[in-house]
Amino acid sequence: MDAVYVEQFLDCFRRFITLCQLDNWPNDDTLHKQIQNAFLLAQHIEKCRHRMIEKNILNVFIDVLSKKINAPSLMIKICISEPPRCILKKIITSSANIDLMDAGFTIFLDLYSEDKLKVYLSDIMLEAASKKTLVDNVSTELSKSYQLEFNSQIFLTKIQCNNGSVQLINEMLKDCKQDMVDMMVVCLINKNPKYSDKVKTIVKGLTKVMASQDIVYKNFWKLLFRTEEDKFIQMCLNHGDIFELICTALIDCGKSIEGKMSREYFYIDLSYSEMSLNVQKICDNGNLKLVFLDLIYQSKDNIGFWEREFKV
């Protein structure tokens, strides 16, 4: 009986390692049930591995398994080090259709946490042969915030620290959507030191756009003021040069509203309520409020408007 149990135990690992080594799995013929079984097998392997670590017998077991299935010990260690990650990576890097990939994410979330999926995807996407495939097929099961993080990391990975990238950013923001502007903001608040030079390149591109006061970027300005408040404020705190240009734009907007000017050909077009909302969130932060007030008083043009309307 014990011998049968040992054989079944070894066979379980053999099946998992064989699956990990298959070149054509999953594919469009793979069933959702097979994806689920693969993750359940990975979960079982993970639990067994933890028990063997606790008993300090993992290395002995790997040596036995290596001889049993005629496979290198190092390859076995790689396969069973993080079993669910191994299956997830195979799904992402496969040629399987989007529906199967979505099913894989959903099944993963049934067994593990969203945080664990976030960590694995962040790691895998840096290894994936086609990073764009991952971005295009990230499951709707993931929160928007996580998707923005993934997109921003890929953008930071691909962008170069040169004038070509600055020009690319200028072109991207001429006809941009909300998700593009949100992604740029997330890039700007990235704290990873390895991206510091690339963040500076994005700052350079963004400040060039903002300082130009070109009407082609009117939509960009409107979308920028619609980004999530916490991310918007953090961007302002991290990048004083960007924040000063934002303040200048709000001051200019105030001038146009006070003077009842047509904004058809003006570089920024915010309604009074949109401007008021953004001024309020800036003034809720003491440090930003001081900078904003200083720039208002430096402008000297419409101090009365700001004192009357916003009691600054």
Determine, yes or no, domain membership for 79: yes
Mean pLDDT of the chain: 85
Domain boundary among 79, 107, 142: 142
Tell me, what's the pLDDT at 143? Answer: 61
pLDDT band at 11 (very low <50, low <70, confident <90, very high): confident
Determine, yes or no, domain membership for 149: no
Cα-based torsion angle of the residue sequence 42, 48, 52, 54 in order, rounded to the nearest 10 degrees: 100
Domain boundary among 94, 112, 142: 142
Q: Which residue has the tokens 């010990």?
A: 73
pLDDT band at 129 (very low <50, low <70, confident <90, very high): very low
Could you say which DSSP state residue 142 is in?
Answer: S
Question: What is the residue range of 263's domain?
Answer: 156-310
Residue 251 sits in the same domain as residue 106? no
Determine, yes or no, domain membership for 150: no
Q: Is 64 exposed, middle or buried (CB count within 10 Å of its CB: 0-12, 13-18, 19+)?
A: middle
pTM: 0.58
Please state, as a whole number, how many other Cβ atoms lie within 10 Å of the Cβ of residue 67: 10
Is residue 158's pLDDT more than 90?
A: no
Q: Which residue has the tokens 């961007």?
A: 235
Rounded Cα–Cα distance for residues 48 and 30 (Å): 26
Rounded Cα–Cα distance for residues 15 and 65 (Å): 12
Residue 162 sits in the same domain as residue 117? no
Tell me, what's the pLDDT at 21? Answer: 83
**Total of domains in the chain:** 2
Q: Which range, of 15-19, 74-78, 121-125, 201-205, averages the lowest pLDDT?
A: 121-125
Determine, yes or no, domain membership for 119: yes
